[in-house]
A and B are shown apart, each in its own frame.
Chain A
Amino acid sequence: MTEGSTRPLFALQGLTKRYSGVVAVDDLSFSIPEGAIVGLIGPNGSGKSTTIDCISGFQVPDGGRWFLGDAELTGRKPHEHATRGIARTFQTVRAFDEMSLTDNLLTAAQAHDGLGWSAALQGGRGLRDAEAKATVRAEELLDTIGLTEHAQAPAGTLSYGQRKLLAIAAAMMARPKLVVLDEPVAGVNPTMIRRIEAVIRRLNEAGMALLIVEHNVEFIMALCATVIVMAQGRKVAEGSPRRIREDPQVLAAYLGADTEAHDDE
Chain B
Amino acid sequence: MSARAGHILAGAGALAVLATLPLWGGTPYGLELGITAATFTVLSTGLNLVYGYTGLLSFAQVAFFGIGGYTSALLSHDAGWPVFAGALVGGVLALLLGLVIGYTSLRLSRHAFAIVSLSFALLCLIISRDWVSLTRGPMGVPGLIAPTLQLPGLGRIGFDRPAVFYWLMLSYAVLVVAATHRLVRSRIGRAFIAIKLNQPLAESQGIDPLRHRLLAIGVSALTSGIAGGFYVFHLTIVDPSIFDFYYTETMLIMVIVGGPGSFWGVVVASLAFTAIPDMLRFSHDLRMVLYGAILIGAMLAFPRGVGGWAAQRRLVRLRRPILA
Binding site for B on A (CB under 8 A): 56-58, 77-79, 82-83, 87-90, 94-99, 103, 106-112, 117, 120-121, 123, 127, 131, 152, 154, 170-171, 173-174
A115 to chain B, nearest CB (A): 9
B270 to chain A, nearest CB (A): 23
Extra pairs beyond A106-B190, A111-B207 (8, CB < 8 Å): A78-B200, A78-B203, A78-B204, A98-B193, A98-B197, A99-B197, A107-B187, A111-B191
The complex places the Cα of A170 from the Cα of B208 at a distance, in Å, of: 17
Chain B interface bracket (under 10, 10 to 19, 20 to 34, 35 or more)? 20 to 34
Contacts of A57 in B (CB 8 A): 203
The complex places the Cα of A96 from the Cα of B55 at a distance, in Å, of: 14
The 3 closest A-B pairs by CB, nearest first: A111-B206, A82-B206, A78-B203
Question: Contact at A88–B204, with CB atoms within 8 Å?
Answer: yes
Contacts of A127 in B (CB 8 A): 187
Closest residue of B by beta carbon distance from A173: B205
Question: Contact at A131–B187, with CB atoms within 8 Å?
Answer: yes
Question: Contact at B197–A96, with CB atoms within 8 Å?
Answer: yes
Query: Does B186 interact with chain A (Cβ within 8 Å)?
Result: yes
Number of A-B contacts (CB under 8 A): 91
Query: Does B281 interact with chain A (Cβ within 8 Å)?
Result: no
Contacts of A95 in B (CB 8 A): 198, 201
Query: Does B298 interact with chain A (Cβ within 8 Å)?
Result: no
Question: Contact at B205–A87, with CB atoms within 8 Å?
Answer: yes
Question: Contact at A90–B204, with CB atoms within 8 Å?
Answer: yes
Question: Contact at B205–A94, with CB atoms within 8 Å?
Answer: no
The complex places the Cα of A154 from the Cα of B188 at a distance, in Å, of: 20
A and B contact pairs by CB, cutoff 8 A, 25 listed = A58-B200, A78-B204, A79-B202, A79-B206, A82-B203, A87-B204, A90-B201, A94-B200, A94-B201, A99-B193, A106-B187, A107-B190, A107-B194, A109-B205, A110-B187, A111-B191, A111-B207, A117-B215, A120-B186, A120-B187, A121-B182, A121-B188, A123-B186, A170-B201, A173-B205
Contacts of A117 in B (CB 8 A): 188, 215
The complex places the Cα of A121 from the Cα of B188 at a distance, in Å, of: 8
Query: Does B114 interact with chain A (Cβ within 8 Å)?
Result: no
The complex places the Cα of A128 from the Cα of B44 at a distance, in Å, of: 31
Name B191's contact: one of A78, A107, A152 (CB within 8 Å).
A107
Query: Does B183 interact with chain A (Cβ within 8 Å)?
Result: yes
The complex places the Cα of A170 from the Cα of B200 at a distance, in Å, of: 13
Closest residue of B by beta carbon distance from A58: B200
| Most A-side CB within 10 Å, residue of B191, B194, B202, B206 | B206
Question: Contact at A121–B206, with CB atoms within 8 Å?
Answer: no
Question: Contact at A170–B205, with CB atoms within 8 Å?
Answer: yes
Question: Contact at A56–B201, with CB atoms within 8 Å?
Answer: no
Name A107's contact: one of B182, B186, B200, B202 (CB within 8 Å).
B202
The complex places the Cα of A77 from the Cα of B188 at a distance, in Å, of: 20
Contacts of A58 in B (CB 8 A): 200, 203-204
Closest residue of B by beta carbon distance from A127: B187
The complex places the Cα of A98 from the Cα of B55 at a distance, in Å, of: 14
Question: Contact at B186–A121, with CB atoms within 8 Å?
Answer: yes
Question: Contact at A79–B207, with CB atoms within 8 Å?
Answer: yes
Closest residue of A by beta carbon distance from B194: A107
Name A111's contact: one of B193, B201, B205, B215 (CB within 8 Å).
B205
Within 8 A of A (CB), among B186-237: 186-188, 190-191, 193-194, 197-198, 200-209, 215
The complex places the Cα of A133 from the Cα of B131 at a distance, in Å, of: 57
Closest residue of A by beta carbon distance from B182: A121
Contacts of A87 in B (CB 8 A): 204-205
Contacts of A90 in B (CB 8 A): 200-201, 204
Question: Contact at B201–A83, with CB atoms within 8 Å?
Answer: no
Closest residue of A by beta carbon distance from B318: A152
| Most A-side CB within 10 Å, residue of B182, B201, B208 | B201
Contacts of B209 in A (CB 8 A): 79
Question: Contact at A79–B208, with CB atoms within 8 Å?
Answer: yes
Contacts of A109 in B (CB 8 A): 205
Contacts of A170 in B (CB 8 A): 201, 205
Closest residue of A by beta carbon distance from B207: A111
A263 to chain B, nearest CB (A): 18
